[in-house]
Amino acid sequence: MMVRLLKSLLILLALGLITVSQLGLSPSTAQGHPNFVTIVVDDLDVASVAQMPAVNELLTAEGTTFTRFFATTPLCCPSRVSMLRGQYAHNHGVLRNDGEDAAGFPAFYASGEESVTLATLLHEAGYETALIGKYLNGYVLADDPRIPIPRTYIPPGWDTWITGVDDAPYAHFDYTLNVNGALVDYGHDEDDYLTDVLSAYALDFVKPAAGTGDPFFLFLTPYSPHTPTVPAPRHVGKFRGATAPRTPAFDEPDVRDKPEWIRSSRRFNERKIAVIDDRYQRRLESLQAVDEMVEAIVDELDAQSVLQSTYILFLSDNGYILGEHRQPNGKDAPYDAATRIPLIVRGPGISAGSLVDEIALNSDLLPTLASLADVSIPPFVDGRSLVPLWTDSNSGWRQSALFEGFGIEFRPGERPELNTPPFKALRSEDALFTQYDTGEREFYDLTVDPYQLDNIVDQVPDPILGEYSQRLDGLAKCIAADCRSLEDKPLPPFHAG
């Protein structure tokens, strides 16, 4: 449909009946170099987007919403590296947020992978690049014995670099930013509130960048609503009394179908529910400053006459559990509450208010922006460009995707809540199949059980289960093009016995 529209516009252009400027495209867009504003919110779940009015009005209503967008490893650091490298975690190797092993910024730095990222690719293609906000967990801790580098370190590819050090900024007051190589301390006055500070830096970047004629890439990554979840003072109490969504998965009544780590979690008492609701209220309150930031950025792009030549992508790094499956909070899990994340894209050629239902992944971000910028996609990339989903066509698309969890703090027999064993899962439109390192397995028929309440793994015929298992094992080891061809292969139909 979009292809047909483009063709008729091209004919009108050729006939001289309309001009490029009438199409609302800047000359640089016509040459294939749009600007990018990518906003990655920290721990934002899908449902809470409904409570962000500017996002809904300026992005959702004006762009396309991806209804099946997933973080392949639903955890801050692995997910962000997947975005920057276009890879599954088993290929980029950053598996956890903290700890000694394959964790956090130190692991990414030590891998050398920072030399080829979304930032370096766009920078080399002539983009002015900026990271404003969160980079990776563990960037850079003072006197970190794992990597003896200064906190003024700036990774390759970034022209503007404004990010918090020492993992302190989550508190939103009393933190230190690395501002282009200089450490700047912020205090606890109202105007030190981190989201507002980042918003001001972002506006300071966009205004001159829009005037240069060169395309720009802004990677804007607020630290909300991540714990400790601190709202701006002006928003405190705005959602008092709001209750976390009581979906059928909330405080799951019957967990006899579930693996041990869920089965041994108790049902909630009133006190625990109050804690969940309080967290939910603070999350929505802290998102209001993010919503205001989105509005300010869109207004500035408009004022600089570059809104029509800019792709704005709004997404999260992982979902967030708020009571589902008896877990009071958290994210390291194969269920949709943790893996499914928002993605809204507005920009040239995208139909207002449209939906994309195909399976899309955080690792698709790099190839998507690379393809829009006419940059060749590095051979190590596992993901794929999402552009065909809004320009085209019913050409083939991935039928399934891999989720990976690496047991961030797994201690068997202890602390059942949030103590997820390492897992691998296969997610299609119709099914979720999970294998834990404990040997436990889950299979959900999403056509009748979208909340993943009834594990039917014992009812799926063995040959079918064998094919799912084999596909999952293949994906768990796949590299680059092999990942894409395995993802494209249809899975056999399954029917509970």
Q: Which range of residues in 29-37, 202-210, 318-326, 473-481 is near Ca ion by CB under 5 A?
A: 318-326
Give 52-88 as a DSSP string. -HHIIIIIITTSEEEEEEE-SS-SHHHHHHHHHH---
Phi, psi of 295 (to 5 degrees): -65, -45
Q: How far is the CB of 76 from Ca ion (least distance, A)?
A: 3
Selected binder of Ca ion within 57, 257, 299, 417 (CB under 5 A):
257
Question: In 10 A of CB 246, how many CB atoms?
Answer: 10
Give 443-456 as a DSSP string. EEETTT-TT-----
Q: Which range of residues in 276-284, 309-317, 354-362, 405-413 is near Ca ion by CB under 5 A?
A: 309-317
| 317/445 with CB nearer Ca ion | 317
Choice among 76, 77, 478, 483 that is catalytic: 76
Q: Applying CB under 5 A, what is the total number of residues that bind Ca ion?
A: 8
Q: What does the alpha-carbon distance between residue 192 and residue 287 come to, in Å, rounded to a whole number?
A: 17
Please report, as residue ranges, which positions from 50 to 109 form the binding site for Ca ion (by CB under 5 A). 76
Q: How far is the CB of 103 from Ca ion (least distance, A)?
A: 14
Selected binder of Ca ion within 25, 38, 43, 356 (CB under 5 A):
43
Structure tokens at 448: 């009748």
Q: What residue type is 332 in one-letter code?
A: D
Q: How far is the CB of 108 from Ca ion (least distance, A)?
A: 15
| 80/427 with CB nearer Ca ion | 80
* Binding of Ca ion by 249 (CB under 5 A): no
Structure tokens at 197: 């500070």
| 164/388 with CB nearer Ca ion | 164
Closest CA to 300 of 375, 368, 210: 210
Binding mask 261-300 for Ca ion (x = CB under 5 A): ----------------------------------------
Q: Which range of residues in 37-45, 165-173, 350-358, 474-482 is near Ca ion by CB under 5 A?
A: 37-45
| 41/301 with CB nearer Ca ion | 41
Cβ(440)–Cβ(255) below 8 Å: no
Could you tell me which residues come within 8 angstroms of residue 213 by beta carbon, excluding any fewer than 6 positions away?
28
| 43/487 with CB nearer Ca ion | 43
Q: What does the alpha-carbon distance between residue 100 and residue 97 come to, in Å, rounded to a whole number?
A: 10
Name 344's bridge partners. Answer: 65, 314
Is 77 one of the catalytic residues? no
Helix (H) or strand (E) holding 160: strand 160-164
Selected binder of Ca ion within 453, 460, 465, 483 (CB under 5 A):
453
Q: Which range of residues in 46-54, 248-256, 340-348, 354-362 is near Ca ion by CB under 5 A?
A: 248-256
Q: How far is the CB of 194 from Ca ion (least distance, A)?
A: 15
Q: What does the alpha-carbon distance between residue 60 and residue 320 come to, in Å, rounded to a whole number?
A: 20
Q: How far is the CB of 443 from Ca ion (least distance, A)?
A: 13
Q: In angstroms, what CA-CA distances link 359 with 363, 427, 457?
A: 12, 9, 23
Binding mask 364-403 for Ca ion (x = CB under 5 A): ----------------------------------------
| 128/317 with CB nearer Ca ion | 317
Per-residue buried b or exposed e for 318-329, using 16+ beta carbons within 10 Å of the residue's own CB: bbbbbbbbbbbb
Please report, as residue ranges, which positions from 455 to 494 form the binding site for Ca ion (by CB under 5 A). none
Q: How far is the CB of 420 from Ca ion (least distance, A)?
A: 15
| 262/350 with CB nearer Ca ion | 262
- Residue, CB closest to Ca ion: 76
Ramachandran region, residue 237 (left: φ > 0; alpha: ψ -120 to 50; beta: rest): left
| 75/387 with CB nearer Ca ion | 75
Q: What does the alpha-carbon distance between residue 319 and residue 337 come to, in Å, rounded to a whole number?
A: 6
Q: Which range of residues in 31-39, 113-121, 239-247, 252-260 is near Ca ion by CB under 5 A?
A: 252-260
Q: What does the alpha-carbon distance between residue 74 and residue 342 come to, in Å, rounded to a whole number?
A: 13
Give the footprint of Ca ion on this chain (CB under 5 A).
42-43, 76, 254, 257, 317-318, 453
Active site residues: 76
